[in-house]
Amino acid sequence: DAKTTQPPSMDCAEGRAANLPCNHSTISGNEYVYWYRQIHSQGPQYIIHGLKNNETNEMASLIITEDRKSSTLILPHATLRDTAVYYCIVRARPGYNQGGKLIFGQGTELSVKP
């Protein structure tokens, strides 16, 4: 699985948009970009995933650059409950080794402040 690079920490004001970047310059054509988050002492929570098009769901938006070498997770209106470690993971799509394994990097520790 390709590796990802994320800033170790970020701050965001409550109510503002949180933009979390991720670099995955070695991503291959059969790999998705996944985002999970982990609130302290809990299991990771799935947020969103995408292949090459931008994606949006009730939690967040995922913007993937045209060359697919980087992406940004956007939390449109961050709340205090969004404080967590956010992991960007590249994983093979289904049909390729059953979609591969989720290998976690160090992630970005997002602190949402009042």
Partner 1 sequence: GAVVSQHPSWVICKSGTSVKIECRSLDFQATTMFWYRQFPKQSLMLMATSNEGSKATYEQGVEKDKFLINHASLTLSTLTVTSAHPEDSSFYICSARDGRTQNEQYFGPGTRLTVT
The site map against partner 1 for 47-86 (x = CB under 8 A) is --x-------------------------------------
Binding of partner 1 at residue 106 (CB under 8 A)?
Answer: yes
Using the contact rule CB under 8 A, the part of the chain among 15-23, 44-52, 67-75, 76-84 near partner 1 is: 44-52
68, two tokens: 């697919």
Alpha-carbon 61 to chain mean position: 10
Decide the pairing of beta strands 9-13 and 108-113. Answer: parallel
CB of 102 to partner 1, least distance (A): 6
Binding of partner 1 at residue 39 (CB under 8 A)?
Answer: no
Binding of partner 1 at residue 104 (CB under 8 A)?
Answer: yes
